[in-house]
Amino acid sequence: MAEPRFTLHATDATTSARLGTFRTAHGAFTTPVFMPVGTRGTVKGVSPASLRTLGAEVVLANAYHLYLRPGADVVRDAGGVGRFSGWDRPMLTDSGGFQVFSLADTLRVSDEGVTFRSVYDGSSHAWTPEDNVRIQEDLGADIIMQLDVCPPHDAPEAEVAEAVRRSLLWARRCRDASIREDQALFGIVQGGVHPHLRKASAEGLAELDFPGYGIGGYSVGEPHDVMLDSLAPVVAALPSDRPRYLMGVGNPTTIVRAIALGVDMFDCVLPTRAGRLGTAFSSEGRLNLRNARFARDFGALDPACGCETCMTFTRAYLRHLVARKEMLGAMLLSAHNLHFLLDLVVRARAAIESGRYAAFEAEWLTSPGAADW
């Protein structure tokens, strides 16, 4: 029997938090893990070398965007998305389902697949689940995601139920179409904020025996408490010996709380998007560097942080860069925000290993850094 891809090393004594390792053809990564998002094959404003220095273990790219520009065949012929982008560690590609379904005015969907128009030039494209798997196999990431149906967070329950049915149908077809043994195909749970639909989706996917499971359809406008309340039974319904990936979540407090529920993997554009807008995570809470109060503040961005941005530059200088719209400001803040989340999951791992995750969570929730995003 082949060695399992995912190994659990420790579980917390009083929560469902877990410490594990997932093996890929490009190395192993430790969970819980936060994955920087490189949608078009690049994490905005942060080079691969900087990502390695920051401690990133996995980077995410998006199949929708790479399929349209430069084309999956170009990436394939370059040796895969890792070699194409200069990243020699594990990579994950999202299927692009969220992007396709966010363009509702150009979308047609049936059990067979989806037809949509490109955001770049308006050209028409059709994907079946099998097409999507072939695209991601060409892109060559270590982890690929099934094509699923992503309804809006306020969709009627009947529409969400139909999305669950169709996503399960497509999950089976994606699994049957997958042929690359060096890739791990994850299924994706849908169901909105309806516990019975989430449970049905999770149980149906578990029967298909994927090497890991994404949890999609969250962080799309619903309150975080609503998300977390409906997330707990979903996580409990998924196999305990496979990683659980909460897709599109980068709020530090939500990450800390979701780890306590047994979630292993996270990704989000929030840290780099916030950096480009002049906003920073910090142990003191959310910092808006556009604010004039930082104009003569010669202290570190976050005195509790050891990243290059905080060790080298003052708040006054960073505020100057942001106010003048200098490219360096967005780069430095993006790198700091990524370091903040990467360091947060490292500290979470240490707390799990020592059996004190409940205390770690409680300390975080009462800290200034837990300010709502």
Ordered domains of the chain (ranges, CATH): 6-268 (3.20.20.105), 269-367 (no CATH)
**Half-sphere exposure of 162 toward its Cβ, with a 13 Å CA cutoff?**
10
- Note the pLDDT of residue 62: 98
Compute the distance between CA of residue 356 and CA of residue 13 in angstroms, rounded to an integer: 7
- Note the pLDDT of residue 2: 57
Q: What is the mean pLDDT of each run of 10 residues along the chain (373 residues)?
A: 82 97 98 98 98 98 98 98 98 96 86 96 97 98 97 93 98 98 98 94 98 92 83 96 97 96 98 98 97 98 98 98 98 98 98 98 96 73
Compute the distance between CA of residue 311 and CA of residue 306 in angstroms, rounded to an integer: 6
Catalytic residue among 12, 267, 302, 343: 267
For residue 153, what are its two tokens? 């967070």
- Note the pLDDT of residue 19: 98
For residue 131, what are its two tokens? 């097409």
CA angle 223, 226, 227 (to 5 degrees): 90
- Note the pLDDT of residue 104: 73
- Note the pLDDT of residue 220: 77
Catalytic residue among 94, 142, 302, 343: 94
Compute the distance between CA of residue 177 and CA of residue 114 in angstroms, rounded to an integer: 17
- Long-range Cβ pairs for the range 24-29 (8 Å, 24+): 24/90, 24/142, 24/143, 24/184, 25/142, 25/182, 26/82, 26/88, 26/89, 26/90, 26/91, 26/142, 27/89, 27/90, 28/90, 29/57, 29/58, 29/89, 29/90
Q: Are 171 and 207 in contact (CB under 8 A)?
A: no
Annotation says 267 is catalytic: yes
Name residue, tokens 């916030």. 274
For residue 211, what are its two tokens? 């090497």
Backbone angles phi, psi at 142, to 5 degrees: -75, -35
What is the distance between the terminal CA atoms of the chain, rounded to a whole angstrom?
45
- Note the pLDDT of residue 325: 98
Annotation says 148 is catalytic: no
For residue 206, what is the enclosing H or E element? helix 195-207
- Note the pLDDT of residue 224: 78
